[in-house]
Amino acid sequence: MPDLGKIRNEIDIIDNQILELFERRMKLTEEVAQFKIETGKQIFDQEREIFKLQKLEDSAGNPFNARGIQEIFRQMMSISRKRQYQLLTENHVEQPVDYVQVDKLPIEGARVIFQGIEGAYTFEAMQVFFGRDIQSSHVETWKEAMELVAEGQADYAVLPIENSTAGVVFDIYDLMAEYPNYIVGEQIIRIEHQLLGVPSAEISDIHTVYSHPQGLAQCKRYLEQYPDWEQKKVLNTAIAAKKVAEDGDRSQAAIASRTAAQYFGLKVLDNQGLSTDTNSTRFIVISNQKRFVKKAGKISIYFELPHESGSLYNMLSHVIYNNLNMTKIESRPIEGRNWEYRFFIDFEGNLSDAAVKNALRGIDAEASYLRILGNY
Catalytically annotated residues: 281, 283
* β-sheet bridge partners, residue 79: none
H/E segment holding residue 55: helix 46-58
Closest C-alpha to 331, from 310, 312, 314, 356: 312
The rounded distance, in Å, linking the Cα atoms of 73 and 56 is 9
The rounded distance, in Å, linking the Cα atoms of 132 and 185 is 17
Give the angle 375-41-101 at the CA atoms, nearest 5°.
20
Residues 6+ away with beta carbon under 8 Å from 49:
77
The rounded distance, in Å, linking the Cα atoms of 182 and 300 is 9
Q: Provide DSSP, 343-361.
A: EEEEEE--TTSHHHHHHHH
Rg over CA atoms, the chain: 27
The rounded distance, in Å, linking the Cα atoms of 146 and 376 is 18
Closest C-alpha to 308, from 41, 17, 53, 6: 53
Q: Is the dihedral of CA 235, 336, 177, 278 positive or negative?
A: positive
